[in-house]
Amino acid sequence: MTKSHSNFFFGEDHLTAGTALAIARNQVKASISATTKANIQKSAQAVSNIVEKGEPVYGINTGFGPLCTTKISKEETRILQTNILQSHSVGVGEPISTELAKLMLVLKAHALAKGYSGIQLQTLERILWHIGHDAIPVVPSQGSVGASGDLAPLSHLFLPLIGLGKVSYKGRTMPTSALFQETGLKPLELGPKEGLALINGTQFIAAHAVKVAEKLHHCLKHADIIGAMMLEGLQGSMKPFLEALHQVRPFKGNQHVAGRIRTLLQGSEILEDHIDCERVQDPYSLRCMPQVHGASRNAWLHLRELLEIELNSVTDNPVIISEDLAISGGNFHGQPLAMALDYATVAAAELGNISDRRIYLALEGGHGVPQLLMKDTGINSGYMILQYTSAALASENKGLCFPASADSIPTSLGQEDHVSMGSISGRKALQVLENVEKILAIELLTAAQAFEYRKPLKSGILLDEIHKFLRTKVPFADKDRVFADDIEVGIEIIRKTQIIDLVEKVMKENKLSWQTPHVEEFEMY
């Protein structure tokens, strides 16, 4: 595992999710080396030689899918590649975000630069121009079944290469023809196999997986921090987080979460104040955070491991191993990521489920806080209805947890008789994570309200600083108000990772270290 660096060479360097995001966000400059250029030209020459020889090789001088037995003449091989981009551009639905589309370009550029796709150098250089100038194609969100690769979205992604489609450029969405007028670019003439190389691959699925990995990573960190604050607010016990307990059931995620919560509670006066209380044990949503959050962490580890393999793979078809060996296989099949994304979706939903349970627990009364987290209730409803929203979001997530990868509908007249539906897995995972961010925002508000009732006792420096920060954004509620405004502030705090950043800042200033094993493994590079 390597961290993001300031320069990246497509086709040579090892690509991680973090580096891909850094390139897409213009934090890392990416290019291709002379060695890579030579490899690309060698692969393109191998395709030209195949065309000259005339022996049938799928997608180079044959039709596609069920038309694979239809021979294409040497003169028509270029027309075939232009036609495939047009005929496969059948996406529907709202466009994906510009960042997701740019990630698709980044991931495709890296795969093509490996030198196994027969792409022309000028074609890859045009893709790099789009990345470098933030001229990002408009890509519909629906239409891929995840094999043969993400055909429809990738077709839309590369329509601008031949002067078609739309792009987002300098804050405007425009036809590619307008982009060409503004920049002086001209349409490319695709060579043999190029159209197929461009649209065969898993870059729609993989781009979504990159964003899922980042969002889930942030939600996991937030869940530990906010859960620790709720534990303090409800006077929960520290014992379920002790290292000795997790050494006898040593799942990496469980140990990591327990260590994080121990660190967050370090130096707490609140814990000391109720150390001899009569409560035997806490409800599961408090004491089982290492087991539940930890299981979701383990799922994140699995996704990151598989995603990193995919990001550095060649996923188009056929793969040009050499002039004498072009293999028509199934590297475009999205199943490896589809299943991992479905697993990650469940992992994300469970963070929301247990968060909603802690919100509900805080409203019950007892645990040292008033019912509905407000003293003057009756005339005031307190925080009652915030939990309605978290319940609605948690329920919506449960409905989205059916694994898309469990379904397959044959396409291409039966030639493509098993598909992954991984594009749906990726889209659902992001939808669930956006809901989890909202649930965690609601828990942050309720945990801070409960935390207030522990005064004048203090928690550890980390949670106290988070509480002070939140109170600069959202005041304590002693009577009803429009809580939707508070929730929106909380969502913004979560999405901007402000409390994660604050924790790291305070730890650095106070020379604190996480009491966590497996630290490096749980980093997002």
**Could you list the active site residues?**
58
Closest CA to 253 of 518, 67, 520: 518
- In Å, how far are 88, 103, 284, 307, 497 from 292, measured between CA atoms? 43, 31, 9, 23, 21
For 216-251, b where at least 16 C-beta lie within 10 A, e where not — what string?
bbbbbbbbbbbbbbbbbbbbbbeebbeeeebeeeeb
Burial of 409 from C-beta contacts in 10 A (0-12 / 13-18 / 19+):
exposed
The amino acid sitting at 415 is Q
How far apart CA 372 and CA 359 sit, in angstroms, is 10
Report CA torsion sign: 245, 249, 250, 253: negative
Q: Report which residue type is found at 10.
A: F
330 CB-near residues (< 8 Å, 6+ apart): 147, 317
Q: What is d(CA 287, CA 302) in angstroms, rounded to the nearest whole number?
A: 25
Closest CA to 373 of 359, 353, 357: 359
Written as six digits, the tokens of 334 are: 């999205």
**What φ, ψ does residue 521 adopt, rounded to 5°?**
-65, -25
Token output for 323: 């002039």
Give the separation between CA 275 and CA 479, rounded to whole angstroms: 32
Joined together, the tokens standing for residue 212 give 């899922």
Quick one: tokens of 498?
């402000």
Can you name the residues that pair with 231 across neighbouring β-strands?
A: none
| Residue type at position 409 | I
Length of the chain: 525
166-169 vs 29-31, strand pairing mode: unpaired
DSSP state of 146: S
| CB contact at 8 A, 518 and 252 | yes
Name beta bridge partners: 326. 320
- Residue 317 near residue 59, CB atoms below 8 Å: yes
- Name, in order, each residue with C-beta under 8 angstroms of 198's C-beta and a sequence gap of 6 or more: 85, 108, 119, 123, 154, 155, 157, 158, 161, 190, 316
Q: Give dist(CA 157, CA 140) in Å, integer.
A: 9
